[in-house]
Amino acid sequence: MSLLQVRELSVIAQNAGHDVTLVDRVSFDLAEGEILGLVGESGSGKTMACRGLMRLLPSPNLRVHGNAVRLAGQDLLTLDDAGMRKVRGGRLGMIFQNPSSHLDPLMRIGEQIAEGIRLHQGASKRDARLQAIEVLRQVGIPDPGQRVDNYPHEFSGGMRQRAMIAVALGCNPQVLIADEPTTALDVTVQAQILRLLLDLRDRRGLSIIMITHDLGVVAQTCDSIAVMYAGRLCEHGSKYELLAHPQHPYTAGLIDCQPATSSGHALLRTIAGQPPLLDALPDGCRFNPRCPHLGALCTAQLPELTGAGPRVACHYPLGDRR
């Protein structure tokens, strides 16, 4: 049984008196201990979908719709705000993209970790501090008994990212959402952060949703991949199946855009054109203006995600045509 079940999740924005769908009926499952890579170009809806399932939207003009978002059987969409606050930071944690913007510069690192522990677990101030030190140790902060009293500006970029992970892990969540966790870090530190997330998964049985545009990160860390384009899932399957035999032309284009692939191309390929504006979507498949395999149905009908193995939203899946 899946730990997290997302069914028909949508995020709607009210813009100039009319609704614009930013995330359109996204559905997926996440098993215990699984790492799911959520990939796509900037603006494809990856972060918004995850903020939607957490009901942590950045504007009052945004609202969430969906059939269900079940975490260990509990439907989060039926909870009131107070009930959802108990889940966020407790059973469901998130590492935000820029730790410098999400760590309070006026609070010591240990206080920021302990705050969630005291709120969700009712721990005393002393016990919460001890747990904060232990979490800092687990994420690889040297001399955590001393560094627990540091402020964010006293940490390097890589250490701030580890501190952000510690804040998210303080209450031992079941699911962790990692939004571009290696952005703006040098290659060595990126590798350290990815190894840390894998180690935490192995030690804690943690389930992770990894939001990224980097298929290299996905190949190193993830078990399965969900590809988003213009607010919709266009392909979803195991890492090995999807990277070796992509069925959607957009997925194939993303793979060919990587600096080094197994396809043997000497030159990088790019995906022609630009993603559509969400308030001016093309008829039919949203990828059709950029698709090199355009067919008759592509401009007439929006494809749905289907398939028993890799699921693909394409009228003319690639098969072995690459």
Residue 132: both structure tokens together: 């904060």
| Helix, strand, coil percent values for the chain (each to nearest 5) | 35, 20, 40
> Residue 264: is its pLDDT beyond 60?
no
**Averaged pLDDT of the chain:** 90
Query: Given this model, what pLDDT does residue 265 score?
Result: 54
* Confidence band for 261, pLDDT divided at 50, 70 and 90: very low
Report how far residue 97's alpha carbon sits from residue 191's, in angstroms, rounded to the nearest whole number: 16
Task: Domain ranges for the chain, please list them.
Answer: 4-91+173-312
> Residue 28: is its pLDDT beyond 60?
yes
* Confidence band for 32, pLDDT divided at 50, 70 and 90: very high
Nearest to 159 by CA among 187, 134, 192: 192
Residue 57: both structure tokens together: 């939207």
Query: Given this model, what pLDDT does residue 288 score?
Result: 95
* Confidence band for 101, pLDDT divided at 50, 70 and 90: confident
Output the CA torsion sign for 115, 119, 125, 129: negative
- Encode pLDDT of 189-241 as tens digits: 888 889 989 998 998 889 999 999 888 889 989 999 999 999 999 999 999 99
> Residue 132: is its pLDDT beyond 80?
yes
- Encode pLDDT of 267-320 as tens digits: 677 898 999 999 899 999 999 999 999 999 999 999 999 887 789 999 999 875
Residue 249 near residue 292, CB atoms below 8 Å: yes
- Encode pLDDT of 65-97 as tens digits: 999 999 999 999 999 999 999 999 889 999 888
Residue 179: both structure tokens together: 């939004």
Report how far residue 316's alpha carbon sits from residue 307's, in angstroms, rounded to the nearest whole number: 13
Query: Given this model, what pLDDT does residue 266 score?
Result: 59
Report pTM.
Answer: 0.91
Superfamily of domain 4-91+173-312: P-loop containing nucleotide triphosphate hydrolases (3.40.50.300)
Query: Given this model, what pLDDT does residue 157 score?
Result: 86
